[in-house]
Amino acid sequence: MDLSSINWILLSASLMVAATPILLAAIGELVTERAGVLNLGVEGMMITGAICGFAISMETQSATTGFLAAALAGAALAMVFGLLTQFLLSNQVATGLALTLFGLGLSALIGQGYVGVRGLTVPPLHIPLLSDIPVLGPVLFRHDAMVYVSILLVAATWGVLRFTRAGLILRAVGENHDAAHALGYKVVRIRLIAITFGGGCAGLGGAYLSIVRVPQWTEGMTAGAGWIALALVVFASWKPWRVLIGAYLFGGLSVLQLNLQAAGVNVPVEYLSMSPYLITILVLVIMSSGRARATLNAPAELGRSFHASS
């Protein structure tokens, strides 16, 4: 074991890259859940965004176009979930799980012609003066644009939820949809907007994996990232900045694990592989317990269907 072989500056910079896809998906799911909707299809939307973003970026030779296509693909899949749960009143948990299975199958079908194809190179941004600061420059200011977009998205989500009328209405729908409906707010419409936003963010997270982090398409490449994003929302108590911290902590752990293996530390990779599913089981147990939900300040209407009586 030789820990001196680990470049800690590079490791610190890498954790931001590793955390970005999870962060993008988690912040979208947070908005969805604050509206009272539990969408377990994040993994399916991420993997669909990954293949659509990669395919379009290769066909157009533009990473920006690829990200836009991924956001649209994730949002489209989320709308399917929204129509089933908000209009047909299907069970949100079952529909979300079905969405994940559908997304995994659809992405494998679309991606058949892209297996083994090398993706585009997305250069990091060079921020004048800041990029040249010793230690902090390489760690914080030499990343691609999507890393900073994800942080700005967290800040924007926090600001909207906390300080705007739209955020207040969204939270009201998540806390008491009957009262919101009585006040004249369109509960279903608001939830559909939140679901679509969550799908778009999940698609961006998947595209970040296939376009930037691992610039190629591999079937099942999200490898449980969507489930981790779901868990982060719960353990962050539905607060945006805590989601950011949680995503960076998990990103740091995943990068550190790989570096420890390279340094000769015997850390079984199976532990990291099974963690998303163990976390998901724990999250579902928490969500099924009313006392635990109250302790974590979960939205009161989370997972409950709304049907207007008048």
Phi, psi of 24 (to 5 degrees): -60, -45
The predicted pLDDT at position 310 comes to: 46
Domains detected in the chain: 3-121+139-295 (1.10.3470)
Residue 219, phi then psi, degrees to nearest 5: -60, 130
Q: Is the pTM of this model over 0.85?
A: yes
Tell me what pLDDT residue 121 has. 86
Distances (CA, A) of 8 to 2, 14, 82: 13, 10, 44
What are residue 115's DSSP bridge partners?
217
Q: What is the pLDDT of residue 14?
A: 83
* pLDDT of amino acid 235: 82
pLDDT of amino acid 250? 82
Q: How far is Cα 135 from Cα 50, in angstroms, rounded to an integer?
A: 32
Q: Which residues of the chain have pLDDT under 70?
A: 1-8, 257-277, 279-280, 283-284, 286-296, 309-310
**Within a 10 A sphere around the Cβ of 91, how many other Cβ atoms?**
14
What pLDDT, in 10s, does the model give residues 18-54? 999 999 999 999 999 999 999 999 999 999 999 999 9
